[in-house]
Amino acid sequence: MENKSESNNRSLKVILGILALLLVATAFYTYTLYTDSAARKNELVVEKDKFIKELNVMTEQYDIAIGDNEAANAKLVEARDRIQGLMDSLKVSDNNVKSLFRYKNRFFALKEEMDVLLAENDSLKVENALLAIVLDSTQLQLSESTVFNDSLLAQNTELADIVENAAVLSTAGLKGFGVIVRSSGKLIPTERARRADKIRVCFTVTKNVLVLSGDKEFFVQVLDPNNNVLGLNQEIQFEEKVLNYSLISKFNYESKNLDICEFIDARGDGKFAKGRYVINIFDENNLVSTSEFTLQ
């Protein structure tokens, strides 16, 4: 009986020992799971904070790109609002893998959208800058090619309107001179008034990317030393402005530089007077360019 009792005690001790080991193992496993869970939760919090910071940076980039003109940058404003909405949702979201994964996908989609929109915005800024250069160049050409004449002071004041509207054609290299016309058609330049058969006016219509191609016309006005209009001397009215022109120079503009020459006849007696001649080129009633020359 005593042996059987001792055997039972030993078995009980073994069982208790096994139970104690299982309890310790279970406690260790539970502690490990808790520790891993806490660490993972901290990682998720850190990762969420990282996304929030990056979303803040993206919002600031949009603010810079939008500048003061939100109406002109509606697409950027809408994209920025989507980022702000994602950031607000992320701040109150659960700290779990499934939730963070969902926001992570939306984050990368918005980041890709931002790269495309900002690239388009930068390209638009470059195009606007180039357009501004073209406008400045056009204005410079107009101001450099204009010489004020006392008799045409009222018409010259219209240059201010031409500068404001850069989508106009201008000219360069305007010059005039007398020519002798041979029976063969050969032209011989001359500075002698009594030998000149006609006055030749030449100029270059300069390229302007803002002007559409097509048929155009300039009014050419040549004034002799007595301030008389040579050539046709016909009158045309533009609203309250009246212009007397020598001829109408018609041409086809093809968005590139175009050289043009025209001939002006003398007045009724067919003779040219000695002295200073003034040439004016008009686009309707707007003075485009002016020059002068002398016949001796």
pLDDT of residue 63: 82
The 10 Å CB-count burial string (b at 16+, else e) for 245-273 is bbbebeeebeeeebebebebbbeeeeebe
Alpha-carbon gap, residue 267 to 254, rounded angstroms: 34
Return the higher-pLDDT residue of 284 and 128: 284
Count of CA atoms in the C-beta half-sphere (13 A) of 189: 8
- Please, what is the Cα angle at 116 between 81 and 119, to 5 degrees? 105
3 state DSSP class of 25: helix
Residue position matching structure tokens 């989609």: 109
Could you tell me which CATH class the domain 149-295 is placed in? mainly beta
In the 8-state DSSP scheme, what is residue 267?
Answer: -
Write down the pLDDT at residue 162.
47
Residues of the chain with CATH 2.60.40.3880: 149-295
**What CA–CA distance (Å, rounded) separates 91 from 93?**
6
148 pLDDT more than 60:
no
What residue type is assigned to position 130 of the chain? L
Greater confidence (210 vs 40) lies with: 210
pLDDT of 32 higher than 80: no
Q: 229 with 222: CB under 8 angstroms? A: yes
Answer yes or no: are the C-beta atoms of 279 and 220 closer than 8 Å: yes
Residue 29 has pLDDT above 60, yes or no: no
Does the pLDDT value for residue 225 go beyond 60?
yes
Query: Which is nearest to 201 in space by CA: 75, 113, 100, 288?
Result: 288
More confident residue, 293 or 28: 293
Assess whether pLDDT exceeds 70 at residue 167: yes
pLDDT in tens, 206-220: 999 999 999 999 999
89-125: per-residue pLDDT in tens? 777 776 665 666 677 777 788 778 888 877 877 777 7
Statement: residue 169 has pLDDT above 70? yes
User: Which tokens in the block code for residue 47?
Assistant: 């990762």
DSSP classification of residue 71: G
CA dist 220 and 247 (Å) reads 5
The band of 158, judged by pLDDT with boundaries at 50, 70 and 90, is low
Between 117 and 230, the higher pLDDT residue: 230
Render pLDDT for 245-288 as a digit per residue (tens, 0 to 9).
Answer: 999 999 999 999 999 999 999 987 788 999 999 999 999 999 99
Q: Which residues on adjacent β-strands are paired with residue 286?
A: 283
pTM: 0.46
Distance (Å, whole) CA 163 – CA 185: 41
* CA–CA separation, 102 and 88 (whole Å): 14
Q: Residue 70 above 70 pLDDT?
A: no
Strand arrangement, sheet containing 214-223: 247-253, 214-223, 275-283, 286-295
